[in-house]
Structure 1
Amino acid sequence: MSLKLRSVAVSDRGLIRGANQDSVHAGPWLLAVADGMGGMAAGDLASTIAIEAIHPLDVETPEEGLVAALQGAIDTASAGIRGAVAEDPERQGMGTTLTALLLARTGTCLALAHVGDSRAYLLRGGTMTQLTRDDTFVQMLVDEGVISPEEASSHPRRAVVTRALQGEAVTPTYTTLVPEAGDRWLLCSDGLSNVVRADSIAEALLGYPDSAACAQRLVDLALRAGGPDNITVVVADIIDGP
């Protein structure tokens, strides 16, 4: 028996935005969330380019090739965004976050790639851990001790992203982990994490065994909090498979 991913994605425009600029992929080997930025059409295009570049990785990948595969797809996404800006200079400044998780074909290792302020959380043994660090101005202030994490959650510049896929070469932050049966992963755009408290997210991950019901519960919590941004969540369980 080897470990497999069983995943569900839900994406919602929210209550304020006129369109949904998030893009998402949830498959048996690959999870990915991209949150576009840089204007209505351009943000939507940037996140779409990122997911189109990375979704071919949803295949059986050798353990030793996980990070290289992710970096290759991210390079392809950057080139696609660069080409889209060249086609229309009004798209200058467009970009997207990307948080992606790739499970090895053996089920013995997974790699997490991250750039921007979408997030990945791992629920293991009843404890939720945030495994990504926001590439944002306010996170930089927290790291420097200028403000507290509590102050960051309401800071007027909390939406300022310091690193994203914008057409230039970028090396995401990579994390590799050994998965365990029973692990539950959450990948989400900041439309969830900016408005729903971490303890409420953890409560939903713990309290809804069915992944589809859990994903919908998380979206509903963000909508109840005002839904000021697009909301995208992927809930994935690590299970024993044939």
Structure 2
Amino acid sequence: MRIGLAPEVSAALRTDPGMLREVNEDAALAEYPSYLVADGMGGHEAGDEASRAAIEAFASVIRPGEVSTVRDVGIALEAAREAVGRVAANRVRGAGCTLTGAVLVQHEDQVCWLVLNVGDSRVYLHRGAELHQVTIDHSLRDEMIAGGAHLDALPGRNVITRALGSADTTADSWLLPVEDGSRLLICSDGLTTEVEDQELRAALTMGGQPEAVVEELVQRANEAGGHDNITVVVVDVLSGGAAWHVGVDSASGSLAESANEEDLTITATVPRRAR
């Protein structure tokens, strides 16, 4: 991909309180080059304020309408941390949110997706009829699975181990190639706790334009119970990207230009094929 070539994308966003919640504590952004979802932490006051503050702070740093840089994403992430910290400081029980998404960035000689994640909202990569989960949930359940725990001993997915506003706000991040015809799904756990990965894959494969897909996925989550707020962002790469790679390995390596004392590090993790 030539330096400075800005890919053309099409995106849609849909957020819904679900069937049981009166307040929607999710917030989201779908404005080129940033596509993000934040989910207010359950059981805390002002989760809606925390998620909105995170999104607004992040968006205030990233210049809309043009490809960003890894350094600016690091600055934006730190701004989101600080904004949520201010919300939490004014609440007796604290406040917090997850933050996940993808930003188009210039890295070396190409434009890439910089995927970031704190918490248990998710980013998926869809190509053709294949669906890969890019992010890894920061939940006690997933940590126990990684440690070899038995299924009958696992807690629910709602116990998260990282979030903005919590003790651990460390973000995982990945660089992915921008590929023509590929599709990103960015969502809160209000979708993934109700809709299985195979249903997600089917909707993304057969659902048509992003606007139709986000509507269908929210509807499916509500029909399955809608126990939580549901937020869905779908982003299609229309042109200006690369041809599909044979594999889906992400780039790796520490980035020298970081926005704060804690480097924004690109994690050398291969996206997992969704089950």
What whole-Å deviation, never above 9, does each CA across 1:42-71 have from its counterpart, x for those lacking one? 100110011001123234245xx32x2222
TM-score by length of 2: 0.78
Aligned to 1:145: 148
User: For 1:167 and 1:49, how far apart are their aligned partners in 2?
Assistant: 15
Q: Aligned residues, how many?
A: 233
Aligned to 1:54: 58
**How far is the alpha carbon of 1:190 from its aligned partner?**
0.2
Amino acid at match of 1:99: T
Cα pair 2:140 2:155 within 8 Å, conserved: no
User: For 2:214 and 2:150, how far apart are their aligned partners in 1?
Assistant: 31
Aligned to 1:216: 215
Taking the TM superposition and a 5 Å limit, the aligned residue runs for 1:187-198 are 187-198=186-197
Q: What is the root-mean-square deviation of aligned Cα atoms in Å? A: 2.2
Amino acid at match of 2:236: D
Aligned to 1:204: 203
**How far is the alpha carbon of 1:107 from its aligned partner?**
6.9
2:86 paired residue among 83, 86, 93: 83
Amino acid at match of 2:17: R
Change (3 A) 1:197 1:41: same
Matched, 1:118 2:124: no
TM-score by length of 1: 0.89
Aligned to 2:35: 31
Cα pair 2:85 2:165 within 8 Å, conserved: yes
**How far is the alpha carbon of 1:100 from its aligned partner?**
1.9
Any runs of at least 4 consecutive aligned residues in structure 1 with deviations exceeding 4 A, and if so which?
38-41
What whole-Å deviation, never above 9, does each CA across 1:97-116 have from its counterpart, x for those lacking one? 00021013697211011010
User: For 1:165 and 1:198, how far apart are their aligned partners in 2?
Assistant: 26
Tell me which protein shows more helix as a share of its residues. Answer: 1
Matched, 1:130 2:133: yes
Aligned to 1:15: 19
User: For 1:83 and 1:165, how far apart are their aligned partners in 2?
Assistant: 11
Q: Secondary structure of 2:111's partner?
A: coil
Name which of structure 1's ranges 227-236 and 158-167 shifts more when overlaid on structure 2.
Answer: 158-167
**How far is the alpha carbon of 1:28 from its aligned partner?**
2.1
Cα pair 1:4 1:107 within 8 Å, conserved: no
What whole-Å deviation, never above 9, does each CA across 1:1-30 have from its counterpart, x for those lacking one? 742221100000000111100000012211
User: For 2:104 and 2:80, how far apart are their aligned partners in 1?
Assistant: 20
What whole-Å deviation, never above 9, does each CA across 1:140-171 have from its counterpart, x for those lacking one? 111112135xx79xx55220010000166733
Cα pair 2:31 2:65 within 8 Å, conserved: no
Q: Secondary structure of 2:7's partner?
A: strand
User: For 2:228 and 2:34, how far apart are their aligned partners in 1?
Assistant: 25
Change (3 A) 1:89 1:125: closer
State the identity %.
36
Cα pair 1:21 1:47 within 8 Å, conserved: yes
Change (3 A) 1:72 1:157: same
Cα pair 1:78 1:169 within 8 Å, conserved: no
Aligned to 2:247: none
Q: Secondary structure of 2:136's partner?
A: coil
User: For 2:113 and 2:158, how far apart are their aligned partners in 1?
Assistant: 29
